[in-house]
Amino acid sequence: MADKKEYFWYIDGNSGSFKMALVEKATSAVTKNGWTSDYKTIELTGTNNLRIVGVFSDVDLTDPDAVSPITKWSLIPERFHKCIADKVIAIGYRDPRNKDLQSAEYFEAIYEKQLKKAKARVTNMLGTGRIVPQDF
Amino acid sequence: MTAKQLIELVQQHHPHMGETEILLLLNQSMREFCEDTKMTASSNVTIDTVSGTRWYTLPDFNTNTSAFPMELISIKEVYLDDVRIPRLQGNPIIEDGS
């Protein structure tokens, strides 16, 4: 039976770029200045063998007149597209060129309402539920 | 809704705003929306590993020129040779920088 190797990952970096470290558990394998570590660098070579499953934003829209434009968000449901435009309208009303704070508040409120609905939709679909106290 | 429709919608309120500025704000707001709601699909990226190398730069998800023009919001799971590996709590005391 093959040895069961224990691998771990951790992250470092700054807000702009991240690096992922891969280590293997190996009891007291690394020693330096009297200190010992139970984790050593992996000894594994492979092509596309590290797979990261993550949550990603949707793709950026590009200029509709460009050669091969991205004209639509594909991951965000269509019903929420308008609320993102509402957010931009709110930002526009805070701009000194077209300042109207009342309208900004109005569109921000519409956005927040839809944001709440979107969060609820995600929780309903992917959430694990919550424990509700029950009297017997 | 298409980009053109969204731009027109904004321009009805702000005719002085250009398409480039609106696109920039739409994409910025979309990212905030995705971060706040986590309403996005899980996706995979794969990286090659090299024996003796500890650190791997995550691909530049964040530009339209990259093969993956999306922004990584959070990491859900990591698989090495199809086996899920856990996240290490804290960092190892010895870091050789490899």
Helices (H) and strands (E) in chain B, counts: 2, 4
DSSP assignment letter at A4: -
**pLDDT given at position B69:** 63
Residues 80-99 of A with CB under 8 A from B: 80-85, 87-89, 91-93, 95, 97-98
**pLDDT given at position A128:** 65
CA–CA–CA angle B24, B61, B33 (5° rounding): 50
**pLDDT given at position B63:** 47
**pLDDT given at position B92:** 84
Whether residue B11 has pLDDT greater than 90: yes
- B26-76 pLDDT, tens digit each: 999 999 998 888 877 666 788 889 999 999 888 766 544 455 567 778 888
**pLDDT given at position B65:** 47
B7 CA: distance to closest CA in chain A (Å): 8
H or E element: which one contains B27?
helix B19-37
Angle between helices B19-37 and B3-13 (to 10 degrees): 110
CB B69 within 8 A of CB B59: no
Output the CA torsion sign for B9, B15, B20, B26: negative
**pLDDT given at position A85:** 95
| Interface ipTM | 0.73
Give dist(CA A22, CA B53) in Å, integer. 8
**pLDDT given at position A106:** 96
Interface test with B, best of A52, A59, A102, A106 (most B CBs within 10 A): A52
Cβ contact (<8 Å) for B45 and A54?
A: yes
Which residues from chain B sit within 8 angstroms of residue A19, using beta carbons?
Answer: 55-58
Give dist(CA B46, CA B88) in Å, integer. 20
Quote the pTM value: 0.72
**pLDDT given at position A88:** 96
Q: Which residues pair with A40 in a beta bridge?
A: A24
Look at residue B96 and give its three-state secondary structure: coil
| 136 residues of chain A, pLDDT tens digit each | 667 889 999 988 766 677 888 999 987 777 888 888 888 888 888 888 888 888 888 888 887 777 777 788 888 889 999 999 999 999 999 999 888 999 999 999 999 999 999 988 887 776 666 677 887 7
Q: Which residues of B61-80 are buried (b: 16+ CB within 10 A; e: fewer)?
A: bbeeeeebbbbbbebeebbb
| Secondary-structure breakdown of chain B: helix, strand, coil percentages, each rounded to the nearest 5 | 30, 25, 45
Amino acid identity, position A24:
E
